[in-house]
Amino acid sequence: GQNIDQPTEMTATEGAIVQINCTYQTSGFNGLFWYQQHAGEAPTFLSYNVLDGLEEKGRFSSFLSRSKGYSYLLLKELQMKDSASYLCAVRIQAGTALIFGKGTTLSVSS
């Protein structure tokens, strides 16, 4: 079976940095995606990693280690609006759809 693990909940304060981890054991690997989803809204694409290393996009960065089956999403300078669910998703092979982890609910307080 396919397994994607993320922490269920995390809390942080405004201005802080938070790292959301994702580990996966899947039958194949053709890319890892991070999405942000606010309650009642659709997922919004944040980042994509297919090679090892760090991808940076403004306040958000994502890291991948394929040998360890591990990724993290790093959020800097947290803002209240960053309170949301963060979904890690793996594409098993090219041409197939995504398999999502259960998501991490991040609560940012002032």
Partner 1 sequence: DTEVTQTPKHLVMGMTNKKSLKCEQHMGHRAMYWYKQKAKKPPELMFVYSYEKLSINESVPSRFSPECPNSSLLNLHLHALQPEDSALYLCASSQSARETQYFGPGTRLLVL
**Interface residue list for partner 1 (CB under 8 A):** 30, 33, 35, 40-45, 48, 87, 89, 94-103
Residue 92 beta carbon to partner 1: minimum distance, rounded to whole angstroms: 11
CA 81 to chain centroid, in Å, comes to 17
- Shortest Å, Cβ 41 to partner 1: 7
Residue 96 CB, shortest distance to partner 1, in Å, is 7
CB closer to partner 1, 87 vs 108: 87
Cα–Cα distance measured from residue 37 to residue 77, given in angstroms and rounded to the nearest whole number: 19
Cα distances (Å, whole numbers) of residue 102 to 9, 43, 50, 65, 77: 11, 13, 21, 20, 25
